[in-house]
Amino acid sequence: MTSPFSSRPELILASGSPRRRELLGSLGVTFRVLTSDIPEISAHTDPAAVARDLAEQKARAVAAMLDTPALILASDTLVALGDRILGKPQDASQNAEYLSLLSGQTHTVYSGVALIGPDGLQSDVEATRVTFRTLTEAEARHYAASGEGLDKAGGYGIQGLGMALVSRIEGDYSGVVGFPLALVIRLLRGAGVAVWGQG
C-alpha cells in the first residue's frame, strides 16, 4: 500500500501521558514526545466531534512548533453521560460528584486520534460504552480521595483502582485508557509507519 506521505519522517507523540507513551512503545515504533499546552476548547458540542477536534488541535499545535517534516500523533479522550461531557474533575469533591452521576449508568468514552504529516491530516474517533456498577457514597468518596481520577476525563482511570468501579465494557478497552490501539495502528500503517515489524 502506498503511503499518503512522501517519506517516512520522524514520529512524534503529542502527549505527556505516561500510559500513551507506554502503549505506543508497545507497538514497536520509534518516536519522541513533544507536547504543547493548548486550552481544551472546541466549537463542537457533539462529544465525538469534540474528541476528534481536540486531538486535531493538539497535533496541529505541535506541528507548528517544528522546523522539519514529521508525523505527529495526538489523542484526546472524554467521557459523556448522554450529551453531558464530564471533563477532568477540579477536586476530590467534584470527582465524587462525577462518580455518583456515573453510578449504575452506562456512559461512553470517546477517544479521538489525529495523525498529521507533510501531506495531510487523518483522524477518527473510537467510542466505547462503559457501565458502572452501583456505587455507595462511601465508595465514591474513597475513590475520589485516592486522587487517581483527578487528571482523567470522567474522574476515573480504568487501568488502576478505577477498574473496581466498572461492571461491563462494550468496545475497545484501550480506548477507555485513552489510546485506542486498533485505531492508532490503522492510522500509522496508513502513513507508512511499520507497526509490530510490518514493512
User: In whole angstroms, what is the distance from residue 199 CA to residue 189 CA?
Assistant: 9
DSSP state string for 106-139: EEEEEEEEEEEETTEEEEEEEEEEEEEPPPPHHH
Residues 6 or more apart in contact with residue 140 via CB below 8 angstroms: 96, 99, 100, 103
Grid cell locating 184: 492508532
Task: Write the single-letter amino acid at 168.
Answer: R
Backbone angles phi, psi at 40, to 5 degrees: -80, 75
Q: Which one, of 116, 97, 99, 95, lies nearest residue 107 by Cα?
A: 99
DSSP H or E run through 94 = helix 92-102
Give me the catalytic one of 53, 76, 124, 172: 76
DSSP state string for 47-68: HHHHHHHHHHHHHHHHHTT-SS
For this structure, is 119 an active site residue? no
Backbone angles phi, psi at 49, to 5 degrees: -65, -35
Catalytic site positions:
76
